[in-house]
Amino acid sequence: MALVIRAVRGRRHPRPSLTRAVLAVSAAALVATTAGCGSSGSSSGSGNSSGAMRDGFSQAPQSSGPLTVWVDSTRVPAAQAYAKAHPNVKVNIVTYDGDANGSNTLQTKVELYDRTGSGWPDVVFSAENNEASWTVPAGFTAPLNEGLIPSSTLDNFATGALDPCTVDGKVYCLRNDLAMVVLWYNAKLMKQWGYQVPTTWPQYEQLGEEVAKQHPGYIVGNAGDTFTPEIYMWASQCQANNITSIRAVTVNVTSPECTRMASLLDTLIKAGSMSTLSVFSTAFDKNEKGKVLMLPGPAWFGGAVFDSSSGLNTPKGQIAVAAVPQWPGSAAPSTGNVGGGLWLVSAHSTHLTEAVDFATWVTGNNVYQAELAPGYPAYAPAASAWLTNQAKSGYYTDNIAPVLQQAAGQVWSGWGYGTFSQEAIWASTIDPGLTAGKTIVSMLPAWQSAITDHAQADGYQVSSH
């Protein structure tokens, strides 16, 4: 039922000219407003009525003009590179927060544009992988595999990379990068202190406790980010976000898969070798600079946290990467995933050719993806070129390609992409408790009910087993 309402509301576009006219007239118009409300309501679904059905959706009449592109600050170079390579296309670059950390900016704006009937950007970058869960019912994104982009291009994306974009077999976005979780570590310190890189979580926990005793102040991980559950809980196959259909989710966070990881985190937080600061906080850069022995985290941590002047700024020749530890006895290796952005093409765009060209260029062209991109490209040919460049830079102690390539195929598929933000829920439920000194294990029931509440508010059927 909620889904039906959503679909109807999404397509509603009140006529802006009417609203404006009403505003211009003063007191006497008040009576007319009530009528205005009624008539705008009855114009349901008129948004694209003038357009023609092509490429699997109703398209607005095409025209020339500047291409409006929304990106986060990290993706500005991508848009600039496109503009430079295409001097004949006028690109209007708008920077926004990238919808990161469940900020919901994009949905807020799009719903306003839906009401006014204009203003949508042509192409949008989003750091959230769950956009398709609302953009598709709202009719905001254009399906890309129905004629806009040839399947030969789409097939070049890594296996499973377009899963977050796919609804009922239609692809509604292009993946920017893959963000599988790996174990970053300081090879120089590990060697100096005679430690072995852990391959199982119990080994990791043991090493964490040793480090806390032998080298106080050094950390083996970080649990203070909104995406902490996507690093640890996802890798541990914790059933917190098992989206089973478009409006159904299974949540069971008191299962052994969740408690084992929660108690590992609790142990190391208590010991002092697991930080509870956000890796993007000024306090983290200040306190942990040079003190990170290990850091489980996504593929983009290398460029965004270690080799970054605004991050830890770790010198060349220290950092290496290994596969994320595993739990003994699990059938197949599994890891988590933190973001890996998406490019969405607006179904309302009046410059579809340029918009599609932009989206395929920024995801697939080596000028951006191999040379400038901080993360592991989702487009496979660009990924090989990117890995070659990383090896050439000599920043890492070893070739990081084999580990990343292997991890790319090991992201556990039991963690889905719902409308509600797991990051926002973890942030408001678990983080304040951690600050107050509570254990994660003791907060798991609260986490369970918070996920349930938020999912239900978004119209999901929630089951706990």
- Position 103 contacts other proteins (CB under 8 A): yes
Figure out which of the listed residues 431, 444, 451, 455 binds other proteins, where binding follows CB under 8 A.
Answer: 431
Which range of residues in 121-129, 175-183, 275-283, 296-304 is near other proteins by CB under 8 A? 275-283
Those residues whose C-beta lies under 8 Å from the C-beta of residue 24, and which sit 6 or more positions away, are none
**What's the distance, CA 252 to chain centroid?**
22
Interface residue with other proteins among 150, 216, 457, 461 (CB under 8 A) is: 457
Which amino acid would we find at residue 205? Answer: E
Tokens 């963690």 map to which residue? 415
Rank residues 57 and 113 by Cβ distance to other proteins and give the closer one.
Answer: 113
Contact between 432 and other proteins (CB under 8 A)? yes
Helix axes 76-85, 352-364, angle to 10 degrees: 110
Among the listed residues 210, 272, 453, 462, the single contact to other proteins using CB under 8 A: 453
CA–CA dist 396, 184 (Å, integer): 10
Q: Which among 108-116, 139-147, 188-196, 308-316 is the span making contact with other proteins, rule CB under 8 A? A: 108-116
Residue of 183, 224, 156, 182 lying closest to 337 (CA atoms): 182
Q: Which of residues 12-41 bind other proteins (CB under 8 A)?
A: 22-23, 26-30, 33-34, 37-38, 41
Distance CA 277, CA 264 (A): 17
The reply to whether 357 sits near other proteins by the rule CB under 8 A is: no
Angle at which helix 380-393 crosses helix 352-364, to 10 degrees, equals 40
Q: Does residue 281 interact with other proteins by CB under 8 A?
A: yes
Closest separation in Å from C-beta 213 to other proteins? 23
| Listed residue (369, 403, 17) closest to 174, CA to CA | 369
- Of 99 and 122, nearer to other proteins (C-beta) is 99
User: What's the CA gap between 248 and 174, in Å, rounded?
Assistant: 24
DSSP E strands: which ranges in 309-375? 319-322, 342-345
Helix count and strand count (H, E) for the chain = 21, 19
Residues in contact with other proteins, counted by CB under 8 A, come to a total of 49
Residue in 286, 329, 331, 392 binding other proteins, rule: CB under 8 A: 286
> Minimum distance between the CB of residue 456 and other proteins, rounded to whole angstroms?
8
CA distance 320 to 316: 10
Among the residue ranges 7-15, 65-73, 190-198, 317-325, the one whose residues contact other proteins (CB under 8 A)? 7-15
Q: How far is CA 354 from the centre of its chain?
A: 25
In angstroms, how far is the first alpha carbon of the chain from the final one? Answer: 23
Q: Which of residues 374-413 bind other proteins (CB under 8 A)?
A: none
**Region near other proteins per CB under 8 A, out of 70-78, 98-106, 208-216, 387-395:** 98-106
Closest by CA position to 179, among listed 337, 353, 326: 337
- Cα 418 from Cα 243, distance rounded (Å): 7
| CB of 145 or CB of 429, closer to other proteins | 429
Q: Are 423 and 226 in contact (CB under 8 A)?
A: yes
Restricting to residues 126-145, name those near other proteins by CB under 8 A. Answer: 134, 138
With CB under 8 A as the contact rule, the residue among 167, 381, 458, 462 that binds other proteins is 458
The CA angle 297-298-300, to the nearest 5 degrees, is 120
CB 222 within 8 A of CB 435: no
Q: How far is the CB of 428 from other proteins (least distance, A)?
A: 5
Residue whose CB is less far from other proteins, 48 or 452: 452
Among the listed residues 435, 442, 461, 464, the single contact to other proteins using CB under 8 A: 435
Distance of CA 262 to the CA centre of its chain: 23
Q: Which of 182, 423, 444, 455 binds other proteins (CB under 8 A)?
A: 423
Residues 6 or more apart whose CB falls under 8 angstroms from that of 84 comprise: none
- Nearer to other proteins by Cβ, of 1 and 53: the residue is 1
In the complex, minimum distance from the CB of residue 445 to other proteins, in angstroms, rounded to a whole number: 15
CB of 179 to other proteins, least distance (A): 17
Among 81, 181, 212, 277, binds other proteins (CB under 8 A): 277
Strands 57-59 and 319-322: unpaired
Residue with tokens 């809980």: 233
- Told to check if 73 binds other proteins by CB under 8 A, we report no
Nearest approach in angstroms of CB 250 to other proteins is 19
Closest CA to 9 of 124, 112, 109: 112
Residue 428 in contact with other proteins, rule: CB under 8 A: yes
* Binding flags for other proteins, 199-238, as an x/- string (CB under 8 A): -------------------------xxx------------
Q: Cα(341)–Cα(426) distance, rounded to whole angstroms? A: 20
- Are residues 122 and 79 in contact, defined by beta-carbon separation less than 8 angstroms? no
Q: Residues interacting with other proteins, by CB under 8 A?
A: 5-6, 8-10, 22-23, 26-30, 33-34, 37-38, 41-42, 101-104, 107-108, 111-112, 134, 138, 224-226, 277-278, 281-283, 286, 421, 423-424, 427-428, 431-432, 435-436, 453, 457-458
